[in-house]
Structure 1
């Protein structure tokens, strides 16, 4: 910790913890120490979204309740929603979470329920909090994934317009206007340039770490990176001459701090609850479903076939890196599926020209692609992996030059035509120009929410014919070198 000044208020801010629950427990220790040192009336703790991530067993098995209890135990007073809260849980699940007694204030200015055109009773565009004689007006906003939110019962709007309206509402009523922004650094910088009256922006979403604040015009921008590796700390005083707030910001590494005992107990409690909940048996296998991201495998074939059927498409197409291991003979539990497919990625139906499919298939034969590490876009795996397909038969020669290895690609018995449009059951990640980027050039995307691709797998595991067909090869090698 740095030397304490005579700050009137210390604001502590976290963001993008993504269910690194142990770091959340360390942050709880830091918040408690600040309150002991400065007094509760001089400390304000807020979280800027993506505290939850369903890749974590305790979060998945508790519908996010472990995260909320950690926030409550640490004494957070204000939170906003990130896309990992808003896009991986239905509005009903979020309502059950945020109707808890003594919950933090939930602020988000650019979300409404589609059914009513209004915010739910637990969400507000802003909140006003008094700390040690300073009135804070705190506005929240989240990234405008409009098309996705609409499928979950939400209507989102352009965030800067919504923020501008709330700043106009608050100015003159409070001493300090703070925006909790789950929008990303580029939009935060634009916000500071375009909207008058914002004193402090606390950033998130793009996982940027600002060890020293940015100052743009009269606005200070702070952000604390990702995964709870840091917590942001801002000392705030009001200049007696001008009446304007002054900020002194830093980011504190959390690794050296002990996990707060009460927070650790919450994690243990929900670990046991989740272990029990995720022990549900979804299938019993008589033959193993093996998986290898570098070659055609039955497990990834099963997923490709499931996506094809789920979306009523001609072709199924998915990167095999979505699956982190194989399924053995015997019972398969929902917890095992979660461990092997932790990504909060949704099925997607695309209409796309054959030439872009062909490009992706060619790339899938190259080590630079199938061994490529990838992060973000919902992906919680390690490497991209080769493409698993269904509804296609592919003949290739690995001895031929890169991007010229395909000999024949047949779609349901007919040659793939570059100019023809095909319906493809796939994943939303590709629409974000991630991994096999040619697949982002589809004419149209239709998304399937709230289901994740592990829900598709669970459905396929219950169909005996699917468990047989996934062992049939779709990729056929000619020439001297066998890679699949």
Structure 2
């Protein structure tokens, strides 16, 4: 019996050793959604990558470079990949020179990334602009070309607008997949753009993206059966979102539930910070928020049957405890100089120029009105209009107080950074000015209000200037706005009669204002809103409404949203001791311009009520009368019986 027991123990030991020998280990370092955030999170003037423990900022690509170097050195010879999941561009002043400098792609290459994919913001300068970014990075020649993986991208056979980008695909700069061999392991990488990312990127046309599910199945089959890879990794620009019950759903989860064979998904687009990897069937999903605030470090093992399992996960915060890499810092400084020279100098600004000071962080929260008021006031002033509006989701960043509260040109730009011209092809959405009747203004407010209430998202919260209005949630949709006032807190407000004659000018960006052309379609003909010029003539298209800042110069001289915002802040009368504009959060600056008045009082239910409210009321009265009549008939029948 002792001999048999010894043999069994030896067999178990040998099996354990064999299992351990068969198990292979690899590591993936990953980021997503850089969005051109090359400096730290917080006031740029306080970002100090050359010293430690002396600022509150987080992030910064120079610090990321140091952390990558440290982790690679610590991990030694283990097979290691460094991957990014797209949206590496757009969101700060750095992206304004992306087409000329290719700075973000060059930095990905300099930091040793094995691959990235395309996000929706890569198309914010249209397909031709993305092609220019890629070509500029390659032309600079100061860093390896980071492979760009886009498995479901499709080009138009009819339009020439994506030909330059298609040529880069044919040249191998954009690939459907990539094989990487490290430490005896064969990795198959591919990249996908999701449905939501496509929907929020109207400027990508005529480029399209095929169904990600079908593309994923094709890629997994190719990588597993033809390329015979050991590990399949998807760089996904689709995303996940937290649910009320604590679970996670989203396009990434839905895809891996239906497409087996993917070992790992590096996620993006939703800016979700997953502190622990998600496990869906046999697939691991990770994502690290956005804008270089974290570096993910995923350790995985591959057993003898080829099953990949999470062994360990670390989320590295990128902050002032990590010094910046000097060489990367110099690259970033060169890009700052390029921004000042190429973009800002012509408008009288510089990248690091201090313009304003905040007393607290001005947030994008729907119930924090200061920043939204500031932006819409800038739109109204820039457009020279009676009123202006935008959506809360167009405010792309907050103004962080940090220690001193000083806001530079670069900090302020991040609030309104996106877009491209209608005529000049330059960074930034241009301002537009159109005219509407008082009744059409009310109808526009009704649509903005209902969009916010139906979407149940802070991104759709209306931000307005030059106008204040009340709404009653007890009234019928499309008939809830009860009172409207024109004016502002400084000069006073006057109530607007929706039936008054005349025209009211409205200012907005072309991105937001373009929806006014769609109102008849969106309301199924209920509202006949017609954008007009100052003489009341209908405008056929958005380009007809673009503001010409200098009519004496040939062509259309666009006035960008970010320019209007900087100019407005620079012109504010309130000043601190240094002469900087003081962005106060008190008094008129914090006024609420959309007011909820929930009331069943007849004066509120029927104030300026339209046909919807009156019809609904009459129907309710009729139903009540009918119910009462039926009850009376029933009561009489019971008494007679």
Shorter-chain TM range is: 0.5 to 0.7
Change (3 A) 1:33 1:151: closer
Q: Does 1:124 align with 2:124?
A: no
SS at match of 1:279: helix
- State the alpha-carbon separation in 2 of the partners of residues 7 and 134 from structure 1: 9
Note if contact 1:62-1:273 (Cα within 8 Å) is conserved in structure 2: no
Q: Does 1:460 align with 2:535?
A: no
Bigger strand fraction: 1
Q: Does 1:250 align with 2:314?
A: yes
Change (3 A) 1:295 1:181: closer
Q: Does 1:110 align with 2:110?
A: no
Alignment of 1:266-277 (within 5 A): 266-277=331-342
Note if contact 2:373-2:465 (Cα within 8 Å) is conserved in structure 1: no
Residue equivalent to 1:155? 208
Q: Does 1:34 align with 2:71?
A: yes
Alignment of 1:46-61 (within 5 A): 46-53=83-90, 55-61=91-97
Q: Work out which of the residue numbers 317, 320, 324 in structure 2 matches 1:259.
A: 324
- What's the CA shift for 1:106? 0.5
Alignment of 1:246-325 (within 5 A): 246-248=309-311, 249-255=313-319, 256-281=321-346, 294=373, 299-301=378-380, 318-319=389-390
Q: Does 1:237 align with 2:301?
A: yes
- State the alpha-carbon separation in 1 of the partners of residues 514 and 523 from structure 2: 8
Q: Does 1:13 align with 2:30?
A: yes
Change (3 A) 1:85 1:410: farther
Q: Does 1:386 align with 2:464?
A: yes
- What's the CA shift for 1:182? 0.6
Alignment of 1:49-198 (within 5 A): 49-53=86-90, 55-63=91-99, 65-89=102-126, 90-97=129-136, 99-100=138-139, 101=141, 102-114=144-156, 115=160, 119-121=169-171, 122-144=173-195, 145=198, 148=201, 152-172=205-225, 173-185=228-240, 186-198=250-262
Note if contact 1:109-1:162 (Cα within 8 Å) is conserved in structure 2: yes
Alignment of 1:326-337 (within 5 A): none
Q: Which structure is larger by alpha-carbon Rg, 1 or 2?
A: 2
Residue equivalent to 2:571? none
SS at match of 1:189: helix
Aligned residues between the structures: 404
- State the alpha-carbon separation in 2 of the partners of residues 97 and 356 from structure 1: 47
- What's the CA shift for 1:269? 1.2
- What's the CA shift for 1:200? 0.7
SS at match of 1:139: strand
Q: Does 1:25 align with 2:48?
A: no
Unaligned runs of 5+ in 2: 1-22, 40-59, 241-249, 350-369, 398-408, 420-427, 474-479, 485-495, 526-542, 558-563, 565-587, 594-641
SS at match of 2:277: strand
Unaligned runs of 5+ in 1: 1-5, 285-290, 307-314, 325-333, 378-382, 389-393, 416-422, 433-437, 445-454, 471-480
Bigger helix fraction: 2
Cα shift readout 1:291-326 (whole Å, capped 9, x = no counterpart): 9954998852366579xxxxxxxx9963297699xx
- State the alpha-carbon separation in 1 of the partners of residues 323 and 348 from structure 2: 41
Change (3 A) 1:443 1:30: farther
SS at match of 1:12: strand
SS at match of 2:62: helix
Q: Work out which of the residue numbers 343, 359, 365 in structure 1 matches 2:418.
A: 343
How does the TM-score come out when normalised to structure 2? 0.52
